[in-house]
Structures are given as structure tokens and as C-alpha cells.
Amino acid sequence: MDRPSRADVRATYERISASFASARRTPWPEVVQFVDSLPEGAKVLDLGCGNGRHTRILRERGLVVLALDFSRRLLELGRGSLGPPAAREVAWIEADAVRLPLRDASVDAAVCVAVLHHLPTPDDRRTALEEIRRVLVPGGPAFLSVWDRDQPRFQAVPAKAPGDVEVPWTLPDGSSVLRYYHLFRAEELRAMIIESGLQGETFLQGSGNIFALARRHG
């Protein structure tokens, strides 16, 4: 398959934003557990916040939230889902994961859920992790998730294939839109975290995902 550009991926999410948001309302328990470990008042980057399902939890826990996504429409839906005044207490930022418009060492923690696997090249994925490291304060944690290549529905993907797939998203009118994914193996994610300068601390697999807790040291 031909890899899309980041602009292509963004256009896909602009197109499916409404139906995507309606299916993404419940926060993941793994993310909630990470959020509950953070001190009240910490400044947290919700990278790839989408329609804000984890942004809401971050704000409810008394954290200062920077909600960033490349889809303008999803950001609008996120604001709407929180409603006033909570939405006004969140900084909503339209930007690309590989070029974060934030100062060095400006956030205390980061959440990056279901983002890296949509970036179409290894350089994009590594750069996004490098950007997370850059904006974290020393010692700051990042909670990451990607799709697991070893989940049952992808057993037919050849072992030596790069792991790039297209998964259809069905719109309300019955038409479908293909979404790009890079499927990760745990050792690949570990290696990329190390290459970015982050230190991987905990890895676990479940519900078709690989979760990682990483941290900036130094």
C-alpha cells in the first residue's frame, strides 16, 4: 500500500470527525489510572486529544490541560463536549504532533493515546516522541498507546511486512473511509522510545493495544 501524507491523515479525520466523536466518549481505564497518578495542578499535554474524551478527565482531576490535535473539527467537537465553563479552562491548540508549538520543558506530563500509529513514516513517529521529550520537564512522565500488531485480527499480516494497514471507518450513510495505521510490536515501540531520548519504564499489552509509560530524564 502507498503511505498517506500527514495531510492525508488529517483530511480523513476532518471527514469522519462527527461519527468518530460519537463513538469515542468513554475514557480508557489505563489513561484514567495514569491521570490519577499526577499531582493536582500539574500542566498536562493531551497530544492528539481528538474530541476530548481524555481532556475531560484531565480537567476534572484539577490539572492544567493543553489539548492539541491536528483536526480543527475534532477540536471544535471537544470544546462542545466539555461545555462552558470547563471548555474555557482548557487551552485548545491546532497543531501537528511533529511540530509542537510549545516551549522546551513547559509541561509536567503528557498523554499520547492512539496517535503514533497514525503517523505515516518512522521519522514522523520518532520526531513526535522527540517533541514529547523536548516539552516535558526533567522527570516528567508520558503515557503512550499504539495498536498492537500481534492482536488476533492482524494475524494475516505477513511477518516481514512493515506493518502498515488500512482499516475502514463506516460513515452514517453507509460509505467507508480508510484509516491508516502502523501496527507496532512491543520491541519496536521500546526501541523508538529509546531513540527519542525518553526512557521507557513500563510496557503492557491489552485490548489490542501496547501501552507504555516513559519519562524524560535529564
> Which residue segments constitute the domains of the chain, with CATH numbers given?
6-172+183-215 (3.40.50.150)
Over the stretch 23-66, which tens digit does the pLDDT of each residue have? 888 999 999 999 999 999 999 999 999 999 999 999 999 999 99
Q: What pLDDT shows up at residue 27?
A: 94
Sign, Cα dihedral of 115, 119, 122, 123: negative
Q: And the C-alpha cell for 11?
A: 483530511
DSSP code for 100: -
Q: Which of 60-74, 153-167, 177-191 has the lowest mean pLDDT?
A: 153-167
Mean pLDDT of 174-178: 96
Packing angle of the helix pair 72-82, 6-22 (nearest 10 deg): 30
Spell out a b/e string for 75-89, using b for 16 or more CB atoms within 10 Å of the CB, else e.
bebbbebbeeebbee
Supply the pTM of this predicted model: 0.95
Q: What pLDDT shows up at residue 160?
A: 66
Over the stretch 83-106, which tens digit does the pLDDT of each residue have? 888 899 999 999 999 999 999 999
CA dist., res. 151 & res. 136, Å (int):
31
Q: And the C-alpha cell for 45?
A: 499535554
